[in-house]
Amino acid sequence: MTFLRRLAKDPFGIVIFIALFLFIIGPMISVVLWAFSIQWRYPSLLPTEWGLKFWAQTFKRADILQALPLTLMISFIVTIVSAIICLPAAYAFARIKFRGSQFFLLSFLATNAFPRFGLYITIAVIFLKLNLISTILGVVLIQLVNTLLFMIWIPTAAFKGVDKSLEEAALDVGASRFRVFWQITLPQVIPAISAALLLTFVGTFYETQGAILIGLPGIRTMPVLMLSLINNQLVVQYGAILSLTLWIPSLILLLFARRVLSGKTLAAGFGV
Amino acid sequence: MEASQLQRPKAKLSKQAWVAYALIAAPFLLMVLLIVYPASLSIVRTLRPEVEGVRRFGLENYQAFFSDHTSVTNLIFTLWSTGAIIGLLFAICLPIALYLRFTDSWIAHWVQGLALFPLFVPGIILAYALIRFIGPNGLLETFIEVTTGWQGYRTPYLKPAGSIIGLVWEGIPITVLILTAGLAQVPDNLIEAARDVGAGRLQIFFRIILPLIGRSLLIAFALNFLGVIGAFTLPYLLGPAAPQMMGPFMQRTFYNVLNPDAAETQAVITFLLSSIVGFLYVRSAVRQQKEET
Amino acid sequence: MASLTFNHLNKQFGSVKAVDNLNFEVKNGEFICLLGPSGCGKSTALRMIAGFEEPSSGDILMDGKSIIALPPNKRPTAMVFQKYTLWPHMTVYKNIAFGLQLRGLEKKVVEDKVHSALDLVGLKGYEKRLPAQLSGGQQQRVAIARALVLEPQILLLDEPFSSLDAHLRVRLREELKSIQRSLGITTIFVTHDQEEALSLADRIAVMSSGQVEQYDSPDIIYAKPSSLFVAGFIGSMTLLEAENKGSELKLGNYTLPSSEIVKGKDVKVALRPEDILLADANGWAAKVSQVMNLGPFYSLVLAIEGLGSVKALFPKTSLLKEHDQINVLPNRYLIYHEDGVEEITL
């Protein structure tokens, strides 16, 4: 009774909730149902035969067994390289005063200021000449483009958020600069940096547009494989099972996001 | 003594500055090499077509694009879809953002969670899910038929509405995020003051709230515009084969037709189309940054 | 102009009683301060008058008629907020004109009213400025003009000067008081600053945990705070433990005359610093332990054996220094007991 009364207090909220639920979650439900079905004849509302038969088949496919480690490897390389080049830059932006720092920081907005696929086409034209099409290096480079803004802006905001007087107090009692960074600054920015790392990894893992343009035909990452499965595969379950499995990194990000990622951190990555 | 004290921090600063330049060099060069260089090179190259083995300045590439019926149709179709998507996104997300700003109930928390959820669903998975949901004999059609008995469902899959639905789905979270961030910066007092002098809901919305979130509206518009013009996966998988949106059209030109020059021209045209929007986005982000520091 | 009555007014946020059975009356044209520490419910009470909060129970009457069913935009009240008061995208002129335009007044009438409102707060010629181009004090003046231009029955102010610096605060206080006097508008002013309340109000309602502790003129509130809470909140007061010995009160080694009414009750004696006077050798022996220069006065802390520290206020002509030995006696004091307070003048 009290539950109903609480619901009645917010009628607009209920309308929005139901509409959003149908639109956002509806498609997801159909994937889950397909993944655990063996047969689903129209017009049955639920699968006509349930089972895990297709899971074993899916993970026996050679193309999938090949694409998964490749995609993981590319994502790791991109994340690590991006961290190595971007994190020191973020520290510099937050902590060192230098001429043009505003300009350089804002210049990374350029990654957001072009229509993405058009940009990839112009990169692909150059890569074509450099023989980088269909190579791991080519794919890694194009993925790096996507990571720069997140990897610089989120940590920069985090480093700026560390109270400078805490660092100065530690310097004052005789700690070296390196020690101050390691023991005072770093622990406070770790949540934001891990958020940026995770976003980079997951973003790269799922990136489709650059991978299809630069990677094919030699390099076939999971999303690209998925694309061809959707277009050419008659067994519906393969796509459903792959979708569910592929969604695992995102699920981890989602769980992590509830704790660490605030809307503000995310907004920082869009230059808002 | 005094002079040396004044000069010392200055000298120290410039030494530190060199360290800073060294630290930012790698990502900056990467950005220049992978974005600024290819983009500007393409603009220059498309303006210097190869005619009878010689490259020289000329508009042949663009003449070819605009005299080709398919290209022009695709361009118009892309703009039309973009307008529809942005219109739908604002129509959906503004009420949600306003609701979230002025309500603090547990339903509001769930609404927020739902609105941000698509952020964690990659485009490729979404495409597959939507095919199974709105596609022929999909869950939605089955559901409508089983519950109402109505058999007139027409699938939007592989039609213009297909890519529009997909891109709207994908655009909801950042739009809600940007609009709620903007609304959060409107203090309660300003709204209460307006109620106090006699303004009703609509007057408060149009005369107080909308002008105050102008920048958020602009950023949401710009990011969605750039996102839709530069989209590939969803229009490729959900949209029609003809007319095509620019993303799949460019990919087909580059990969299937094997005509990089034409693809490059198409890319540059998308740049020009969105150059004003891109500029407005960068400018307002720059202003935001400056105000915060 | 109107009178205002609170009738058993309550406001509950969850399990917290923000306003607890408020009952008092504001007369037509009166300037009332709601004074109390943060969280005492004074702002909530004000926001209920304006209509931004709904009472949990009870009533608010304006000229004898209930107003709680009216939404804020239908109430004849106008409010001045503490900060973020002006709409930043509108010029000073538009800020003030907004409410008039909503009422569909003619352009010329709006213009005249805005100009005379700006004139009233001394900001003639600032029409075209944006809020960001004004100082904090000017912004609050515009906020007051915006409230007054609608000719409300009651003017409400929620700590309007608390984010300004001390000097400006005093000036705006004086200006507000003279505007209020010239218009004769019923005004309710919320503040946590006792000096502000004492200097502005015709009557002060001192509030604590949602209730009114005392509702009196500033003179009475200062001279005879009805409870220890009010005594502690208003001005400076030394509280001394006392033993009740029939007709006398024993304070350490000294005695003071008592009152019939407090016989047999636990008591505390309260002394205002200015009521401590220099005395002959029969007075309390005191050592000056601290001297603070307040301009026209010295504020002293006296150490009195068996009594502890007592604050006193002496004119500069007394020429006292730290460590001086003097004798003092109070010429007036308050005796607090469980049922109230007694004032004794010697």
What is the pLDDT averaged over residues B236-263? 89
Higher pLDDT pick, B179 / B7: B179
How distant, in Å, are the alpha carbons of A17, A210, B20, B24 from that of A104? 42, 25, 11, 8
Per-residue model confidence (pLDDT) at position B1 = 38
With beta carbons under 8 A apart, name residues in chain C contacting B185: none
Residue A207 has pLDDT above 70, yes or no: yes
Calculate how close chain A gets to B231, using CA atoms only, in Å: 6
Contact residues of B toward C, CB < 8 A: 187, 189-190, 192-200, 203, 207-208, 211-212
Query: Of C98, C252, C227, A75, nearest to B198 (Cα)?
Result: C98
C102-159 pLDDT, tens digit per residue, is: 998 999 999 999 999 999 999 999 999 999 999 999 999 999 999 999 999 999 999 9
Mean pLDDT for chain A? 85
Q: Which A-chain residues 74-133 have CB contacts (< 8 A) with chain B?
A: 85-86, 88-89, 91-93, 96-99, 101-102, 104-119, 121-126, 128
What is the pLDDT averaged over residues A29-42? 86
CATH code matching the domain that covers B71-292, chosen among 1.10.10.10, 2.60.40.150, 1.10.3720.10, 3.40.30.10: 1.10.3720.10
Residue of A16, A93, A151 lying closest to B24 (CB–CB): A93
Per-residue model confidence (pLDDT) at position B7 = 43
C21-44 pLDDT, tens digit per residue, is: 999 899 999 999 999 998 899 999
Touch between chain B and chain C: 3 or more Cβ pairs under 8 Å:
yes
With beta carbons under 8 A apart, name residues in chain B contacting A181: none
Calculate how close chain A gets to B85, using CA atoms only, in Å: 15
Greatest CA separation found in chain B? Answer: 93
Residue B211 has pLDDT above 90, yes or no: yes
**pLDDT confidence band for A179 (50 / 70 / 90):** confident
Residue A1 has pLDDT above 80, yes or no: no
Mean pLDDT for chain C? 90
The C-alpha atoms of residue C214 and residue C234 are separated, in whole angstroms, by 11
What is the pLDDT averaged over residues B128-135? 90
Per-residue model confidence (pLDDT) at position B10 = 46
Provide the 3-class DSSP secondary structure of residue C326: strand
**pLDDT confidence band for C346 (50 / 70 / 90):** confident
C89 φ, ψ (degrees, to nearest 5)? -90, 0
Stated as kind and residue range, the H or E segment containing A262 is none
Calculate how close chain B gets to C176, using CA atoms only, in Å: 19
With beta carbons under 8 A apart, name residues in chain B contacting A255: none
Cβ atoms B280, B220 nearer than 8 A: no
With beta carbons under 8 A apart, name residues in chain B contacting C81: 189, 192-193
The C-alpha atoms of residue C62 and residue B204 are separated, in whole angstroms, by 27
Q: Is residue C199 exposed (0-12), middle (13-18) or buried (19+ Cβ within 10 Å)?
A: middle
User: Are B211 and C52 a contacting pair at CB < 8 A?
Assistant: no
DSSP annotation of B35: I
Calculate how close chain B gets to C74, using CA atoms only, in Å: 7
| Best mutation target, B105, B197, B213, to test chain C (most C CBs within 10 A) | B197
Per-residue model confidence (pLDDT) at position B175 = 94
Which spans in chain C are helix H?
42-50, 92-102, 107-120, 136-148, 166-183, 194-200, 218-223, 228-233
Per-residue model confidence (pLDDT) at position A260 = 64
Per-residue model confidence (pLDDT) at position B135 = 87
Per-residue model confidence (pLDDT) at position C187 = 96
Query: Of C206, C210, C205, nearest to C18 (Cα)?
Result: C210
Which chains does B contact via 3+ CB–CB distances below 8 A? A, C
B57-87 pLDDT, tens digit per residue, is: 888 889 989 999 999 999 999 999 999 999 9
**pLDDT confidence band for B5 (50 / 70 / 90):** very low
Interchain contact A52–B (C-beta under 8 A): no
Residue of C78, C85, C146 lying closest to B189 (CB–CB): C85
Query: Of A30, A46, A59, A28, nearest to A236 (Cα)?
Result: A30
**pLDDT confidence band for A8 (50 / 70 / 90):** low
With beta carbons under 8 A apart, name residues in chain B contacting A105: 289
Provide the 3-class DSSP secondary structure of residue C127: coil
**Sequence ranges of the domains in chain B:** 71-292
Q: Which pair of structure tokens corresponds to residue C216?
A: 């009196």
With beta carbons under 8 A apart, name residues in chain C contacting B199: 73, 98-99, 102
Calculate how close chain C gets to B274, using CA atoms only, in Å: 28
Per-residue model confidence (pLDDT) at position C250 = 85
Which chains does A contact via 3+ CB–CB distances below 8 A? B
Residue of B187, B196, B198 lying closest to C103 (CB–CB): B198
A37-52 pLDDT, tens digit per residue, is: 888 887 778 888 888 8
Highest mean pLDDT among B42-56, C204-218, C266-280, C293-307: C204-218
With beta carbons under 8 A apart, name residues in chain B contacting A253: 120
Calculate how close chain B gets to C257, using CA atoms only, in Å: 54
Q: Is residue C137 exposed (0-12), middle (13-18) or buried (19+ Cβ within 10 Å)?
A: middle
**pLDDT confidence band for A253 (50 / 70 / 90):** confident
Strands (DSSP E) contained in chain B are 50-51, 54-55
How distant, in Å, are the alpha carbons of A98, A185, B53 from that of A165? 20, 11, 65
- ipTM of the modeled complex: 0.86
Residue B3 has pLDDT above 70, yes or no: no
Chains B & C: contacts with CB separation below 8 Å: 60
What is the pLDDT averaged over residues C181-190? 94
B280 φ, ψ (degrees, to nearest 5)? -60, -40
Per-residue model confidence (pLDDT) at position C110 = 95
B18-61 pLDDT, tens digit per residue, is: 888 999 999 999 999 999 999 999 999 899 887 777 888 888 88
Residue A4 has pLDDT above 70, yes or no: no
**pLDDT confidence band for B169 (50 / 70 / 90):** very high
Question: The tokens 């720092």 sit on which residue?
Answer: A101
Residue of C81, C84, C99 lying closest to B197 (CB–CB): C99
Question: The tokens 């419910």 sit on which residue?
Answer: C41
What is the pLDDT averaged over residues A188-194? 87
Pairing state between β C276-278 and C297-304:
unpaired
> What is the chain B residue with the closest CA to A198?
B120
**pLDDT confidence band for A232 (50 / 70 / 90):** confident
% of chain C with per-residue pLDDT over 70: 100
Calculate how close chain B gets to A82, using CA atoms only, in Å: 8
User: Are A117 and B125 a contacting pair at CB < 8 A?
Assistant: no
Task: Enumerate residues 6+ apart whose C-beta is below 8 A from A121.
Answer: A213, B42, B250, B251, B254, B263, B264, B266, B267
> What is the chain B residue with the closest CA to C73?
B198
